[in-house]
Amino acid sequence: WVVSATYRPGIDGSPEPLQDNGRWALEALARALVSAMPGWGSGTGNRNGGTKMDRDRLDDNVKKALQRLRRGLNVQWALVAGFAASLVCLELKLGRYQDEMGGDCDSYYHYHPYYLQPQQQRLQHRQSTHPQPTKQPQPQPQPPSFTLTTTTLPPTQPTPYRRPRTLAGLALRSLLTLSSARLIRTLSFTLTVLPSQIPRCYPRRFPHPPPTDWPAWLKIGFLPNSRGGCNDLILSGHATVTSTLACALTSVAGNGTLSRAVWTLVAVDYAIEALEGLHYSVDMWLGCVVTCLLWVLTR
């Protein structure tokens, strides 16, 4: 509200949005995919091809198809469900484990007490429980005599302690990542205000004209608004939340196939968000990249 109410070009009119090359590329790809499907118009995937009626009908079909796809995928609630399942798996000790440096371990056996022993003790234990058959020595040629100076090496250090990941640890890491990303987002759109891609966004979402007295002006900022603001664009708040959930889910699962599937769905959701004009493509890109880097830093 503060950024939208202080951006005078958005209040007085509908400023021209910035050039979004990413959105143009996504629109061309969407037209090509939709026009190739049967029953989706005349098949003119190029903006310059066909009549104006054909192009308008194809654009309407693209928007409707994308809206149906996004509602069908429902990526946001799928990530929330996956995050909740991750917490349950950690509480039941079904997830991956983490060493003292924050790195993921492959299995429970990495922190089993047997593996916490020094390597020499483990070798002695293995030899005592599984003796090897004695082999007859073979005669070997005598090497030439020489003097070798040896250096005594320090004793083998024990394996570092490795602890299992916990529900509280995952929740704390997720909160730190999300709060840091939201702080960076607030500073970013406060420093530089971008024009909204939605025509006449301010009159549709906020009182027009804005109130002149300070108490009423500040009160509007505390009113719930499910449609969001107009100029709080970079970074995308939607991208920070979904990227945090995706990072938490994939880190607990530790499965390459599941990770690729999750991030593919996230990328499709971001592409549709940019195609619908709710965000610039750079908002989604930076929101995802910054959040993933923060997830690594909070390890």
Model pLDDT for residues 30-61, shown as the tens digit of each residue? 878 767 765 554 444 444 444 555 455 556 77
CB 45 within 8 A of CB 31: yes
pLDDT band for position 29 (cuts 50, 70, 90): confident
Position 77 pLDDT exceeds 70: yes
pLDDT in tens, 253-271: 888 899 999 999 999 999 9
pTM: 0.72
What does the pLDDT read at residue 276?
85
**Strand order from edge to edge, sheet including 97-99:** 104-105, 97-99, 162-164
Calpha distance 276→66 (Å, rounded): 8
Provide the Cα torsion 214, 218, 219, 222; round to 10°: 180
What does the pLDDT read at residue 51?
52
Average pLDDT score over the chain: 78
Angle at the Cα of 232 from the Cα atoms of 278 and 2, rounded to 5 degrees: 135
What does the pLDDT read at residue 238?
92
Residue 249, Cβ neighbours under 10 Å: how many? 22
Lowest mean pLDDT among 8-12, 69-73, 105-109, 260-264: 105-109
Q: In the predicted model, what is the mean pLDDT of residues 228-255?
A: 91
Q: In the predicted model, what is the mean pLDDT of residues 141-163?
A: 54
Position 226 pLDDT exceeds 50: yes
CB 299 within 8 A of CB 102: yes
